[in-house]
Amino acid sequence: MNTVIRRVPVVARIFLGLVFAVFGLNGFLHFLPMPPPPARAGAFAGALMGSGYLMQLVFLTELAAGVLLLSGRFVALALALIAPVIVNILAFHLFLAPAGLGLALAVLAAEVYLAWTHRSAFVPMLRATA
């Protein structure tokens, strides 16, 4: 049982890394077919794409964080980079496209769990200073 518990952070890290590496890469290479989103979700995504830079920045952030998570190096940095993206993914699926909410919740759970397991790296950042 102890061996299983020790492997949970590795499994969560690899899961999160794979999700963001694959979807970040898909943003550039379009190898996964995506079903058409609901009308409001499509309008929102279209506006982001229409900016000309924002979705490329999000995909690059996803890819970079995914690679860092998969490599096991700079995990705390990857978690901090990807946290705002996860918040937006969750909000997007909560309010605009509920069909993808399951994966969004799984990603959020993995992020929170990994942030907890790496909490010592976040203590200096969260310490109040005078």
**6 within a domain of the structure (yes/no):** no
Predicted confidence (pLDDT) at residue 6 exceeds the cutoff of 90: no
Q: Is residue 60 part of a domain?
A: yes
Going by C-alpha positions, the residue among 4, 118, 10 that lies closest to residue 72 is 10
Q: Give the pLDDT confidence of 81-96 residue by residue, as tens digits.
A: 999 999 999 999 999 9
Domain count, the chain: 1
Query: What is the phi-psi region of residue 127: left when phi exceeds 0, alpha when psi lies from -120 to 50, beta otherwise?
Result: beta
Residues constituting the chain: 130
Residue 92 lies in a domain: yes
Does pTM surpass 0.75?
yes
Give the domain range for residue 72. Answer: 50-120
Neighbours of 25 (CB within 10 A): 17
Residue 24 lies in a domain: no
